Chain A
Amino acid sequence: MNDSLGRRPGRSWPVGPFGPSSKWCSGRSYGELMMGLDSNESVKFVPRRVDQSRLRQSSVPVDPSSASSSPTSALHEAVYRAVYVEWMRRTNIYLTDTEQAALDARAIAEGSTRSEILRVIVDRQLNLGEDTDVDAALGQVAAELAERARTISSDDVDLHIA
């Protein structure tokens, strides 16, 4: 099956860090783990023999670092754990061809990945940016603000509580 940009994959692998889909290409636009790394530093998940029974049993991808002890295994494991075990959870969503093409186009233009573009859109749409100082201040004055809300609304026929 061609992807959303009409490219025909040469071979197909399961989606995942060491069994990438046809769109995976380490160090380029579709590398899932290239965030914060340039192309020379990006972690290259070379398809290798996998314990298929363990894959089937777990919803979390098998740690590829356990499959070999390459020189990059420490970095490999750290990035793997950060991205796939401690920081993110894999999910599947259905997108139209147009939506996929739009995400891919943005990813190519920005040197990013489809997943990263989606994460940015989700964060922005759902206001997920951190603002710990403001949150702490709001938590401390919540009772006073609630009292002020009652006072302000006391003579408002639509909003007062009687």
Chain B
Amino acid sequence: MVIVDDHLALLAVAGALDDLGPSGPVVTTYSFQYRMARAVSDSTRSGSLSLRLADPSAALRRMLHPPAHRLVVLDPRASLEESVRMAGSHRANLLLAELMGAAAHHGAAVRVTPANQGKTWSHLMEAEGIDFATVDL
């Protein structure tokens, strides 16, 4: 299983994500899904984005209900205990605590785009024994 950020999740839903390396399904967290769904919803305010999406409401539906063979959204309740531990140990915010908690709970790898890599993420993931890397697109 590999947990991806919102950018990679968008590409996964579009069927445009290359093989990331780790075996298993491509998944994302609720926080990342929320971020990308909010961005798609907000795209109606941008003339160029709205035009290029053509049907923003259909795009939003696709992000809210992604096809499971391309992307699965993890239930944050399953890894709540680990997430709380991550937040307490590393002073992580909700996004990072959920990401690290889910990775620890599911034994999953984490892949993000360079722009979505926090300054301390690499160090924290290594400290928790999480397979973490960035993906250049």
Contacts and interface: CB of A to CB of B under 8 A. Distances in A.
The answer to whether A and B come from one shared complex is yes
Interface of A: 126-129, 131, 133-150, 152-153, 157-162
Interface in B112-128: 113, 115-119
Contacts of A144: 49
Contacts of B117: 161
A135 B15 contact: yes
A143 B137 contact: yes
Q: Which 9 A-B pairs rank lowest in CB-CB distance, beginning with the nearest?
A: A139-B14, A146-B7, A158-B94, A126-B68, A149-B39, A139-B16, A142-B10, A148-B39, A149-B35
A138 B6 CA distance: 12
Interface residues of B, number: 44
Given A127-B65, A133-B55, A146-B7, 19 more contacts: A128-B67, A131-B58, A133-B54, A134-B54, A134-B58, A137-B55, A138-B14, A138-B62, A138-B63, A139-B16, A143-B7, A145-B10, A146-B39, A148-B39, A149-B7, A150-B115, A152-B42, A158-B94, A161-B96
B69 A128 contact: yes
B66 A127 contact: yes
State the majority secondary structure of interface residues on A: helix
A142 B137 CA distance: 11
Contact of A127 (B58, B67, B118): B67
13 contacts: A127-B66, A128-B67, A128-B69, A135-B15, A138-B14, A138-B62, A139-B15, A141-B53, A142-B14, A143-B7, A152-B42, A159-B35, A160-B95
B16 A145 contact: no
Interface of B: 5-7, 10-11, 13-16, 31, 34-36, 38-40, 42-43, 46, 49, 52-55, 58-59, 62-63, 65-69, 93-96, 113, 115-119, 137
A158 B62 contact: no
A159 B6 CA distance: 11
Nearest to B35: A149
A145 B14 CA distance: 13
B43 to A, nearest CB: 7
Contact of A148 (B16, B43, B93): B43
B35 A141 contact: no
Contacts of B15: 135, 139
A146 B55 contact: no
B31 A158 contact: yes
